[in-house]
Each structure stands twice: as C-alpha cells, then as structure tokens.
C-alpha cells in the first residue's frame, strides 16, 4: 500500500484487501494449523504451517509495518516475547547500554540474561548524552531505549541517541509502547528495532496479549524471523485479528487519550493533595520542548506523586471508581497503577530509589471516557486520601 496515504487510511487498509475467495471486507481468522501442499515440487511462496506463517498474523504484521514506516514487522505472544526476540540476537559476553528509567520487566529479563548468558547491562540517564557515550564498551552490542519512559514519562532525544549508537557500531532498539506509531516513528531517526507491547495501545481494548518488533534491515529481519518461527513465541490467529481490529482505531483513540490526559494532568497539577505531575504535555515537564519537537502529540500516560506517603497514596488508589486499580495500560478504560508493587515490583529497594519509583507515585493510563467524569472521580478519591 502506498506510503503517501495518511496514517488513518493505512491503519484501516494496509495488509487488509478484501478476501479473494469470498469478498469479505474484514480479514478472516485463519484458525488452521496446516495448509495443503499442491505437490511435492512446490518451492516456497505459500503457507505451510501456522507457527511459521499465518494469513491473519501476516495481515496484522503488514499493517503494523506500514504504520511504523518499516519494511518488516513480526508479532509475538507478548511484549516480553518481542523483547526476548531482540535480546536473543545477542551472544554470551555482549554488553547492553540501557536507559535507566525502563519497564521493570525489561530489567528482570536483563538480569536473567546476565545470570545465564553473561550478558552485562549498564543503566544510564539517557537525558545526558555524555553519560550514555561514556557507558559504551568495545563489546557493547545494543542500546535499549524507551521514550516516553515507563512510568515517569521522561522523553529522550532519540535522533541523537540513534546516531550515537551507530557511531559505536551498536544496534539501537526503542520501546515505542507509550507513544505508538501514531505519535512517533523511531526507525525514521535510525533505530534498528522498534518494539511494542501490543497488549497496550495497539490492541487498545484490554482483551489481548501481544508484542511486536518492526525493523527495516533485511538481515536483521531474517534473524528476528528465526526468533519468531523457530523459538515459537508466535501470536495466535485470533489475537492477531484483535490486534488488526485495534489498529484500525489507533489514531482516533490516541487523539482522545491525549485530549483527556492533558486535562487530567492540568487538574492534578493544581490539586492541593498532589505534590508533582509528570506529563510531556505540561510546560513544566523537564523535556516538554523536546517532546513538542520529537513527537506528534503527548500520549495518554500521566505520572503523579501524592502528598503524604504510602498510606495516602493507597487510599487514593483504592478510592477511585472509574480509574480501575490494575497493572496494565493503553486500553479505552482508565486505569490507575502503583508501580512499586506492579510494573516495578521485581526491583530491589535500591533499584527503585535510583529510578525514582517512590512510594507516593501513581501511574495513570487515561482512557477515553468523558473527561469530566474522570476528573470528578480523581477529585473525590483525593478528598478521601
């Protein structure tokens, strides 16, 4: 499909022509394991076995590739499976430079890689380019980035960091889960891999678990294909179909998420029971100007610090009615999370302190309900905290 078409059009049409057999407008769920061989002489090009390739999954992968401006995209059974596929390209003795404010599951995976494969990681403040450069070693093979970060919503200079990774001969991977391809496309700045937990905004309805890797390089794509098809962490046809359905409305949902999130962030920033709010769309966010330049919007994630401490924060989290207390994000419904015991529970106290994971911090995934109802809900919960 032509890349000149706008995002919304590609989200609905890319990889999704009407079924040639029936004319069905919606891509079918091909719930089949096997495909018939026409003869023993067939030489590739067709489908053989659904672990290797499935028409529903292929349609969703082609759509995501179009949205990310990628030549290739691969869907996995979860975001962590997608991460594992990229890290699976590393060899024993390799070194990783990783952004410090990173999803807790990524840290747990990197710990496992060090324990079993001798792959070491150095965590750095990626807002400081000089600190990142100083962390590179001769055996550094991968620079792992997030922007905006989970859970603090920090924004980093992806263009400069991709260039830095290239100068050092390292691959650069960007977790684009919070921003989504609607708000930014890291491959255009030189990233080698873009990774998603498609469970979140790509799916968008809290009804599937999926992960994705998008990239341009054909040799690396072959290697990721091996990780997918041979290791077997594939996405099922049904969940591929749900991902495809979710991406159709990604643009309109992200606009609604952002509209609500900026209103919620402004409300919380002025509330007497809130100590601090981090949202890239607020002028006092430390990387607000960079976010305006680098992104096409600010997303739906808000980080807030409650005055008092853990008990006041606990009452706030448990007092909301529309913001459901849950550990995921990116769905149409609003969620409130407590990273200390959810997304970053696997970290030691020292590791959490280093990453500013405080006991009075909450992470809000702002949904697309009516914004007045959401603000009223937060207000009544804060009054009880």
Q: What phi, psi does 365 have (nearest 5°)?
A: -100, 100
Q: Would you call 57 a catalytic residue per the annotation? A: no
The active-site residue out of 94, 101, 157, 175 is 175
The active-site residue out of 51, 245, 273, 276 is 51
The active-site residue out of 10, 100, 200, 355 is 200
Q: What share of the chain is helix, strand, coil (3-state, %, to 5)?
A: 40, 15, 45
Q: Would you call 94 a catalytic residue per the annotation? A: no
Q: Would you call 159 a catalytic residue per the annotation? A: no
Per DSSP, the residues of 172-195 read: EEEE-TTTHHHH--GGGGT-SEEE
Beta-carbon contacts of 116 under 8 Å, excluding residues fewer than 6 positions away, are none
H-state helical runs in the chain: 7-13, 55-68, 79-87, 104-117, 129-135, 158-167, 180-183, 218-229, 237-248, 250-269, 288-294, 310-319, 349-354, 371-383
369 CB neighbour count, 10 Å cutoff: 16
The active-site residue out of 57, 101, 103, 253 is 103
Joined together, the tokens standing for residue 213 give: 């890797």
CB 357 within 8 A of CB 278: no
Q: Would you call 175 a catalytic residue per the annotation? A: yes
Known catalytic residues are 51, 103, 175, 200
């Amino acid at each position: 499909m032509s890349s000149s078409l706008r995002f919304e059009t590609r989200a609905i049409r890319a990889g999704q022509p009407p079924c040639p057999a029936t004319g069905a407008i919606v891509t079918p769920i091909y719930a089949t394991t096997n495909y018939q061989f026409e003869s023993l002489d067939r030489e590739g090009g067709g489908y053989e076995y659904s672990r290797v390739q499935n028409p529903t999954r292929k349609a969703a992968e082609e759509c995501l590739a179009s949205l990310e401006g990628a030549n290739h995209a691969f869907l996995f059974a979860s975001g962590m499976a997608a991460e594992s596929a990229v890290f699976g390209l590393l060899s024993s003795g390799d070194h990783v430079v990783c952004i410090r404010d990173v999803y807790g599951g990524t840290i747990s995976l990197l710990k496992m890689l060090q324990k079993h494969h001798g792959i070491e990681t150095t965590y750095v403040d990626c807002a400081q380019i000089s600190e990142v450069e100083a962390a590179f070693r001769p055996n550094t093979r991968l620079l792992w980035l997030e922007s905006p970060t989970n859970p603090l919503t920090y924004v980093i200079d992806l263009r400069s960091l991709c260039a830095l990774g290239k100068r050092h001969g390292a691959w650069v991977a960007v977790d684009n889960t919070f921003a989504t391809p609607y708000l930014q496309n890291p491959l255009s700045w030189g990233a080698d891999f873009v990774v998603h937990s498609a469970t979140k905004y790509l799916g968008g309805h809290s009804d599937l678990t999926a992960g994705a890797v998008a990239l341009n390089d054909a040799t690396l794509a072959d290697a990721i294909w091996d990780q997918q098809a041979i290791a077997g962490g594939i996405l099922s046809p049904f969940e591929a179909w749900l991902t495809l359905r979710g991406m159709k409305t990604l643009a309109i949902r992200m606009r609604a998420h952002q509209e609500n999130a900026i209103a919620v962030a402004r409300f919380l920033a002025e509330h007497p029971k809130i100590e601090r709010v981090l949202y890239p769309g607020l002028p006092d966010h430390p990387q607000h100007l960079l976010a305006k330049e680098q992104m096409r919007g600010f997303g739906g994630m808000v980080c807030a610090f409650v005055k008092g401490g853990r008990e006041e924060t606990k009452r706030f989290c448990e007092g909301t009615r529309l913001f459901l207390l849950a550990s995921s994000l990116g769905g149409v419904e609003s969620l409130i999370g407590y990273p200390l015991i959810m997304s970053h529970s696997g970290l030691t106290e020292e590791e959490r302190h280093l990453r500013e994971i405080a006991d009075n911090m909450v992470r809000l995934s702002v949904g697309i309900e009516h914004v007045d109802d959401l603000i009223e809900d937060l207000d009544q919960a804060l009054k009880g905290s």
